[in-house]
Amino acid sequence: MHLPGHTAGSIGLWDEENRQIFCGDAVGTNMQMMSLGTPSMEVLAETISRMLVLAEDNTVWWGHFGGQVTEADLVSLQQEVQGILQEQPRNTKRGTVKTSRNKINHVQDEQCPRAQDLSKRGRGRKRCQVYSLRETNAVTERNTTMIRKRLAMLLAVLNAAMVLAACGGQTLEQTYPILRDSKYDAAFLEVSIDDFLAEGFQFGDSCDVTFSNGLTLEDIPFFSGYYVRTGMPLVVGYPGYTYISVTRNNQGIWTDGGLTEDDTAVVTLHEAGKYLDEEEALSQSYSNNRGDYQDDVQFANFRALSGGNLKENFLYRGASPVDAQKNRAAVADALLKETGIRFVLNLADSEEDYQEHRNGESFSSFYAAGLHDAGSMALLDMSSSYASAAFKERLAGGLRSMLSAEGPIYIHCLEGKDRTGFVCFLLEALAGASYDEMRSDYMKTYANYYGITREDSPEQYDAVVCLWFDAFAAYLHGTEDEATLPSADYAQDAVNYLLDAGMTADEIAALRDMITEASDA
């Protein structure tokens, strides 16, 4: 609930079931603290009057100097504020605190316990700026999103506290049956994302996961997406997933970990909020509504590949034209028809998956269906584990099928982001594209879906490049020295990857000739 007074953006959290209100510093027992930053005494008076009504049926707790705010406290505050208002001249701006903004921020930084704790790691200042909600009327859209996440985190902390209280203060720990995610070789915990969160775990927490076969993962992040480098372990609650997943990014964990569906997993909270900065910096969501995008091309993440010596308008990439779960299939299908696509490299689906999409009530991708029926769609059913033998083998098979096809050619997975991102990076590298050219193409996806550009969101842009694109480049080039990536020559690296995937030198040469312009020599 909005409780302006202490600041213009002050809020309260209402625990309806237990009839408790956590009001921060909106009202309390210390007038000096409450009025610090107030937009006006009239606004503060209105909030106090509102809280008097709410206090009849709820217990009110405030943030400083310990404890409950009683109805008697609120009556006393109301009388004090009314006295201040009566003393103020009518022609002045009443209630404006004449303390400098820097002093206000200093006080809030010093008195916020969470900021004091985080400042030891050099992060308190940034976080307390969010908690202070200063300059609320000029908050940008990005800051508004951050504020919402912070409020969600506050609710999560309260929820976790109640869970721990219910457990007698014991460590948060839960045991789950597991299932194999055959697509990505991950371990699904048989618990939904909502239920996992309700049990007290929150995005940004650090967890320990111990499987009954002895496999143990310690101090790993719980994220809402795959925000770790290739090979690093995490717990993930990806939007749209039925269950919580435990895996190593782009590598899986089930087979290498020797897991079976007779095993169970114990998840223990290692440290609450340890990875919250990373979660907030990298977590993004996008709309699946066409009306929220500039045009069909942006909505479907649709574009031609370019860079190096690639043929113009020969290779295209984008979202799935057959899987409607992101509402993009029909739009992508129309773009395939408009562009005259002759062959589709479907990285995501098996034949069984494709038939399930086609039999769905909302299926209307008839152009793509025609390509499938004509044998012009390669269904590769690939995971995102681009370093795995299975990924390489299936990609090699798809590229061999492509060699006998006519262009233009469309490459996609579900979103046209991860699997498509690596395959297009590989083909661009084979065509002699530079690091900058390949990075530019990769990051167009993040501009299309999330609005992340180097100009508008430089920190997020660099974080995405570092986490994902540079991981592609470092893997392909076979280096851990990322300083060398911008100047590396990736053409031979692409050849080596395809040789390792099982393609012959002649097949690779034919593929390069197919996708590149003829040399003038």
Checking if the pLDDT of 124 tops 80, the result is no
3-class state of residue 43 by DSSP: helix
Q: Quick one: pLDDT band at residue 61, thresholds 50, 70, 90?
A: confident
Distance CA 72, CA 241 (A): 50
Q: Are 402 and 336 within 8 A, CB to CB?
A: no
In this predicted model, what pLDDT tens digit does every residue of 451-462 receive, in sequence order? 999 999 898 899
Distance separating alpha carbons of residues 247 and 230, to the nearest angstrom: 11
Yes or no: say if 434 and 496 are a contact pair by the CB < 8 Å rule: no
Residue 96 has pLDDT above 50, yes or no: no
Q: What percent of the chain has pLDDT over 90?
A: 58
Torsion angles phi and psi, residue 213, rounded to 5: -85, 0
Q: Which value, in Å, is the radius of gyration of the alpha carbons in the chain?
A: 28
162, 258, 160: which is closest to 216 by C-alpha?
258
Contacting residues for 131 by C-beta, under 8 A, at least 6 apart? 108, 112, 114, 115, 150
* Band of residue 295 on the pLDDT scale cut at 50, 70, 90: very high
> What DSSP string runs through 409-444?
EEEESSSSSSHHHHHHHHHHHHTT--HHHHHHHHHH
Report the C-alpha gap between 348 and 209 in whole angstroms: 29
Provide the percentage of residues in the chain whose pLDDT is more than 70. Answer: 80
Residue-level pLDDT at 119: 33
Q: Is the pLDDT assigned to residue 269 strictly greater than 90?
A: yes
Across the range 388-392, mean pLDDT stands at: 92
pTM above threshold 0.85: no
Which pLDDT score is estimated for 386? 92
H helix intervals, 321-469: 329-339, 351-358, 366-373, 389-403, 419-430, 435-450, 458-464
Average pLDDT over residues 371-389: 94
CA dihedral 269, 271, 273, 275 (to 10 degrees): -100
pLDDT of residue 38: 63
Model confidence at 32: pLDDT above 60: no
User: Strand (E) positions, 227-301?
Assistant: 233-236, 244-248, 264-271
- 367 or 64, higher pLDDT: 367
For residue range 305-360, what is the model confidence (pLDDT) as tens digits? Answer: 999 999 999 999 999 999 999 999 999 999 999 999 999 999 999 999 999 999 99
Name, in order, each residue with C-beta under 8 angstroms of 103's C-beta and a sequence gap of 6 or more.
none
Residue 95, pLDDT above cutoff 60: no
- The pLDDT, as a whole number, for residue 261 is 95
Average of pLDDT values for 485-491? Answer: 95
Indicate if the pLDDT at residue 69 is higher than 60. Answer: yes
Q: What pLDDT was estimated at residue 90?
A: 39
Please tell me the distance from the alpha carbon of residue 363 to that of residue 449, in angstroms, as a whole number: 23
Report, as an integer, the average pLDDT of 24-44: 68
Note whether 247 and 185 are within 8 A (CB). Answer: yes
CA-nearest of 459, 413, 509 to 146 is: 459
Rounded to 5 degrees, φ, ψ at 69 are -105, 115
CA separation, residue 215 to residues 174, 220, 228, 246, 258 (Å): 16, 13, 20, 12, 8
pLDDT band at 87 (very low <50, low <70, confident <90, very high): low
